[in-house]
Every structure is written in C-alpha cells, then in structure tokens.
Structure 1
Amino acid sequence: MSASLLGRVRMICVDARTDDLQEGDRLEWWRERTRRSIFSSTINCDRAEGFHATARAVDLGGIVVSRLSYSSISWVRSEKQVRQSDPEQLVLALSVRGRLGLAMPGKQQVLSAQEFTLHDTSRAFRGWTSEETCRPAVQILVQVPRSIVPLRSNPIDQLIAEPIPGAEGIGAVVTDYLVRLIDQAPHFRPDDSARLSTVTVDLVTALLAHHLDGAAAVPPERHQEALYARVLHFIERHLGDPQLSPRMIATAHGVSLRYLQQMFQREGLTVAARIRQRRLDRCRTALAEPRQRPYPIHLIARRYGFTSNAHFSRLFNATFGLSPSDYRRSMQP
C-alpha cells in the first residue's frame, strides 16, 4: 500500500491488494476496507479461501474514484447500517468486467460490462458481482457528496439502480475519462486535485442529466447552490493550507473572483472572513478536546493554516474573548 502527499493540495492515490495478506485474512480485510472507504455493508463470499482483490483509490479532496477488482461476492446494506453510518453520497458504479447486480424494494437490475448504475448511500440495497471466465470482476466507483451535484433530488431518484449505457455517447466519454484518471493518478501534479475534482463532478452531472430531462433536472438556482456547496467543501478540506485564498478558490472552481464574492454576500461575510472564521472554529474545537492536550497551541494553529502564533492569538482573543491558553484551561475539568 502506498500513499503520497502532494504539496499543499492533499491528493492521495492508494494501491492495495489481498495477495500481500494471509489467505485466511483476505476477506475480512476487504470487508473492513470497504466499510471505512466506501460504506458500511455485510459482505459474503462463497469461496472465502480463494478470495482475491485489488484496489486503487484516488481521493480528489472529498470526491473519491476507485477501481476495484475482486472475486465473486455479495453484500447487503441494511436500514440499520444506513442509520448508523451514512456519508450522504451518490455512488456512480461502472461495470468494467463481469456482471454487477443491484436490488432494492421494487427494483432489480443486472448490469453487463460497460454499463453504469447509480446508488445512494442513504438507501438500503443488496448487491452482487460475478466473475467472467475465471477472471475477477472489475468496477470503477465514483463517490460524490449528494449536496454538490446540481440536480433536483426527485429526477436523480429515477436513475437509482437503473442501467446507464457506458459504451456510447456521453457514457463513453465518462468511461474513458474514469479509466484514464485511475491509470494516470500517480503522475498528477500537486495542483491537479482541485481541477480534477471539478471536472469529475461536472462529468457525472452531465451523464445523469443526459438521461433525465436536462432542462428540468438542472435548474439555474441549483447550479449556484451546488457550486456554493462545493466551495464550502473545498474550504473545509484546505483549511490547513496557508495559501488558501479567495483567488485560489475561484481558480479551482473556474469562476471569477467577483462572482465568488457575490455568492457569499447572502452570509454577510466575505470569502476571506469565512476562511478565517472556520479556521478559528476548528482551532477552538481542537483546544477543547482532551486528546489534543499534548499538542502545543502553535502546532494546532498551524494545522489550520495560521503561520503566525501572535496573529492567531490576537484573532482568537478578539473573536472569543479569551486567549487560546486561557480558553484551553477553561475547558479542562
């Protein structure tokens, strides 16, 4: 397993394979990996002793694209598991090799290679895969927070567990993009992550809208709402980057600085003020946590993008009425 931290933008490409494990540990490792990185489910395999799997996951800052190759398995995501853990994501699945089945109340589909389908982590469902002529099944998954997809909920729901062609038209474009994205992930430059995240969301949106009534599915107000949600998500993911700025955010999302500032007017805050507020909030939360007590205050401040301890202390005092050290002491039992 390998991971790389690229410059000031965190983009992780992780490769993993069960061949590195004892045969008896492989299926359990796969269960735990999918629970942590995709969603909680109960996975079963008829031939656990012969189970094999490989995975590559590319984290583009909250948008995760994964290629999974594994022996025939089945899984169930129950209502209880949904209640216990729901990342509130849409998951676009592309069957690359083998067959992929999905079932939920009133609906069941079996997909062949070069077909997409969509599912929602907020729903319970069953799924299964089958190998092709003794070769492992292969799928590509795209995990996207539902809040940043600029489509109305009701039209999206029509596509859940429905087959979407991936070998022609816009489906072929998205298929080619995802395959190349996975293959070339180790070679990306540090600043590619934010741009690729935006491209990925736009292509997923275009694919889904193509199979809906595009004009009705993507109202203008939802475009702005989704962009705003993506910007907030971007800010949260990059608070630790001292270079985070309104201009950096505007560039990453392909909008002008003026348009970005106008989006934040409804909050009564500038973009810079929002960044400062969230950094201070995260620092305050960390200072109140018992498990963070071993860490010096200046390291916590630096973790969230403050490069000057004196500047951080002044801002914290002005915002919360206590110095960082006094606040930390006041939160101790």
Structure 2
Amino acid sequence: MPRDATGKIPGSPHLDFEAWKDLIRTMGGRFNPEGIEPNAFTGCVRPLRVCGFTAAEVGSNAHRVERTHRDVRLDGADHYFTMFQVAGQSAMTHNEEAARFDVGDVVLVDMARPATFFNCNAGESWKSVVLLLPRRSLVSHLGFEPRGGHYRRNGTAAGRLLLDLIRNSEEGEGTTPSPADSYMRLAVYDLVGALFAPNDPVPSRHADKLFIRVRNVIKDGFADPDFGPCEAAARAGISLRYLQKMFTQRGSTCSEFIYSFRLDQAARLLQRRAALDASQALSEIAYASGFRDYRHFARKFRHRFGHAPGGGSPEDSRALCDRNINHWLAML
C-alpha cells in the first residue's frame, strides 16, 4: 500500500515502531518488525469488533514481521487468527508451510507456533485484516483442529463473506454487544470451517484427550435418567455438534455410549442380585442404571444380552459386559 507525502499509511493513525508493537501485543500477542530502522518504521493498527471477536486492520513498511519461539513461550497466546491481504503483497513461513499472498487471499495462523511474514512490496507498505479466534471454542464448534499455515486464494465464497463481515464491523473496543452476536459467532466459525476444513479430518491429540474427558463425564452421569448427549456436552464444555462428531469419527453415537454404560451397570446389579439371592425388583435395578421406563430397559437389555433381565446366566451377561468395555476402550 503506498504512503502519503508524509510517509504515513492513509486511512489509519500513524504509529511508530514501539507503539505498533505494543498495540499488537495487547490485542493478540508478540510480533516484532525486523529489517528496518525504528526511526524509518511506519505502521497502522485500527482495532475492530466483529460479533464479539477482536479484529484489526494492520499494516506496516517493515521488511518482515516475526513471531519467534520465544514470543510464543512468553505470551502463551492460545488462539488462531485469519489474515486477509487487503493491500500490497506479502509472504509467510509458518508451521512448515510457505506461501505468497495477493490481495484477497486469506491464511489461518496458529498463535501457538512461530511465524514470519515478509513484505513483498519493495519498501512500500502492506496491509491486512486479521480476526482473532479462541482455539477451544473454534475447535469445539468445528469438530476438528485446523492447521495453521493453510491458505486460500481470492475468490472463495466463504472468504468473501467473512471479509465482508469484518469490513462491515464497528470500529474500536467499546462497541455495545448485540444480542445477535452469539449467533453470528457461530456463523463466523462455520465460514472458517468452510475455508480451512481438511479433506479427511482425523481426531487430533487434543480431540483424543477431550474424548477421554467426555467418557469420564458420561461415566459420572449415566445413572441419571435425565442425562443425555446435551448434558454430556454441557458438562464437558463443548458444543453438542462437536460431541456428535467425536463419536461419529469413532463409528458410534453418544446415545449408544450412554446406553452401553447403563446396560453394563444393570448387568452388574443383576449379577449381584443373583449372587446374594436378593429380591430386589427389576424395576429398581432399571432405575438405578439410568432407565426411567422398565419396558424400555427390558427391550434394550434383551437386544444387548439376548435374554430378558430376569433370565439367562449372570456369567453370560458379565462376559458380554466385559467385551463391551474392551470395545469402548479400543475407541480411545
């Protein structure tokens, strides 16, 4: 982007070297302009709010801007940001990816990893629009962990919609939140997913750890007849959509997983009932295992174990229960 006669970037307040670094740091993390003398530096940062997200128009005439391993360690920023090129040309190396960007191109940057951005404008300024996205919320909504460094060329429908949404946002940090923001944030996540979804998403290490947490939540809550997928998602702190994707990727459903715990518990209680020659009502065992309706319990039990709750061998039920536990453990 060209500078005016005073050397400033048009349309945004002029910032010197230290002011630019400080404002960038307060907004999202540590970045360092390199390859230019501080007294020759000129930059701009125009803060924006997009549906409750932090965003900004950012530009400078630095030859390159770096985020090092040390920066990552010092600020501990744990979010992504999308970066649209809106003036000039730039290039980037990040997460074992390297690319050059023209106006309209967009890249996803992972703040937990180093990155270097290069000015390709022969001493002139570049300008971009960035949108910060909290990692946990984004991953929970998408159902996969996007890879920083992926980029898309100008012209995608999702890219145009997201850039228009950012450009039409209000300026500054003090804008009044809108009741529609929570819905629009979901739309933003969907657009990011449409831009950067891998062709064949697989569960990440983060997702594996999260699945273990979900499993423990279900283990603690299955005995409550009112406990279901919605409650499991809420207690695990993830969206229902992500919860469903986690189980789909493992060839199952959350409801099936919950019923498996309930039926295993019922089989254990029936085995104890038989061993103690107790007279505990089968309906009590059903309720203690998380079933409110006995007929529903009996149908599920027969389908699972091949006999009614009061019939069959307790050892057979236990063997099936053990095999089922091994099956679910293999999903981890």
The alignment's TM-score, normalised by the length of structure 1, stands at 0.51
Shift, 1:17, TM fit? 2.0
Query: Can you give the 5+ residue segments of structure 1 that lack an aligned partner in the other structure?
Result: 1-14, 20-25, 226-257, 268-333
CA gap of 1:181–1:152, structure 2 versus 1, over 3 A, is same
Q: Aligned residue for 1:264?
A: 234
Amino acid in the other structure paired with 1:213: N
1:57 aligns with 2:47: yes
Q: 1:146: how far off?
A: 1.4
d(CA) in 2 for partners of 1:31 and 1:184? Answer: 18
Q: Distance in 1 between matches of 2:175 and 2:22?
A: 28
Measured at CA, do residues 260 and 57 of structure 1 come closer, stay the same or move farther in structure 2, by a change above 3 Å? farther
**Greater gyration radius:** 2
Match of 2:144 in 1: 152
Contact 2:64–2:118 under 8 Å retained in 1: yes
User: Quick check: 1:97–1:132 contact (8 Å CA) kept in 2?
Assistant: no
SS of 1:17's equivalent in the other structure is: coil
1:178 corresponds to:
166
TM-score, normalised with respect to structure 2:
0.51
Distance in 1, matches of 2:160 and 2:21, equals 31
Does the C-alpha gap of structure 1 residues 184 and 206 become closer, same or farther in structure 2, counting only changes over 3 Å? Answer: farther
- Offset at 1:82? 1.4
Distance 2:203 2:154 in 1: 21
Rate the CA distance shift 1:50–1:32 in 2: closer, same or farther, 3 A.
same
Matched residue SS, 1:173: helix
Aligned length: 206
Q: What are the residue-to-residue correspondences of 1:199-238 with 2, within 5 Å?
A: 199-209=187-197, 212-213=198-199, 216=201
Deviation of 1:36 after TM superposition, in Å, equals: 2.0
Q: For the Cα contact (< 8 Å) 2:159–2:195, is it kept in 1? A: yes
SS of residue paired to 1:58: strand
Residues 1:208 and 1:162: Cα distance change in structure 2 (over 3 Å)? closer
Tell me: CA distance 1:43–1:265, structure 2 relative to 1, closer, same or farther (3 Å).
closer
From 59, 67, 81, give the equivalent of 2:57: 67
Q: What displacement does 1:35 show?
A: 1.9
Deviation at 1:37, TM superposition (A): 1.3
The residue number in structure 1 matching 2:156 is: 168
Say whether the 8 Å CA contact 1:62–1:144 is kept in structure 2: no
Q: Structure 1 residues 103, 201: CA separation in 2 closer, same or farther (over 3 Å shift)?
A: same
The answer for the alignment partner of 1:197 in structure 2 is 185
Distance 1:151 1:119 in 2: 18
Measured in 1, the distance between the counterparts of 2:171 and 2:19 equals: 24
Could you list the runs of 5+ residues in structure 2 that have no partner in the other structure?
1-10, 211-227, 238-332
- Specify the alignment match of 1:4 in structure 2: none
Q: CA shift at 1:164, angstroms?
A: 0.6
Cα separation, partners in 2 of 1:184 and 1:202, compared to 1, 3 Å: farther
Give the whole-Å Cα distance in 1 for the aligned partners of 2:182 and 2:22.
28
- Corresponding residue for residue 140 of structure 1: 129
Q: Which deviations, in whole Å up to 9, do the C-alpha atoms of 1:169-202 show, x marking residues without a partner?
A: 3222222222223579998764344343333223
Deviation at 1:123, TM superposition (A): 0.8
The answer as to whether partners of 2:78 and 2:134 remain within 8 angstroms in 1 is yes
Query: How far apart, in 2, do the equivalents of 1:265 and 1:161 lie?
Result: 32
